Homo-oligomer: A and B are copies of this chain.
Amino acid sequence: MSDIFKALADPTRRKVLELLRQRPMTAGELASHFPVSRPTMSAHFAVLREADLIDAFKIGTTITYQLKLSVLEDALLGFARLFGAGTDEQATTDAAVTNQIRKGTSE
């Protein structure tokens, strides 16, 4: 859980996740959105991988990253739970948060 919040604590990494929400992208494609060096971006990807927030697929020489939405969901939801556990509106809320995050992705 700390790993996830640590990953989210950097604006560059949050933006990477946002970009990946739209569609999977290669490391280079992602990097081109930011004013930092490729190695720096690579380090950010490593942090996101470490937090299990993205998956990497290597095809030839390029690596495509994909958002692991369910992990992000579970983390935010799990945390929100600490602040509202044990209510009978739990199920409804869970679905709502999930929909909020997934919007347009799953329905």
A 48-102 contacts with B by CB, 8 A: 69, 72, 76, 79-87, 89, 92-93, 96-97, 99-102
Complex CA gap A97/B14 in Å reads 20
Stoichiometry (number of copies): 2
Q: Chain A, interface size: which category?
A: 35 or more
Whether A83 and B18, one on each chain, are in contact in the complex, defined by CB atoms closer than 8 angstroms, is: yes
Whether A84 and B96, one on each chain, are in contact in the complex, defined by CB atoms closer than 8 angstroms, is: no
Write out the residue numbers on chain B whose beta carbons fall within 8 Å of the beta carbon of A40. Answer: none
Main secondary structure of the interface of A (DSSP, over half): helix
**Smallest Cβ-Cβ distance to A88: which chain B residue:** B103
Complex CA gap A104/B93 in Å reads 14
Write out the residue numbers on chain B whose beta carbons fall within 8 Å of the beta carbon of A69. Answer: 83
Partner of A9, one of B2, B83, B87: B2
Write out the residue numbers on chain B whose beta carbons fall within 8 Å of the beta carbon of A2. Answer: 9-11
Given contacts A76-B79, A86-B103, A97-B97, 4 further A-B contacts (CB under 8 A): A2-B11, A14-B79, A83-B103, A93-B97
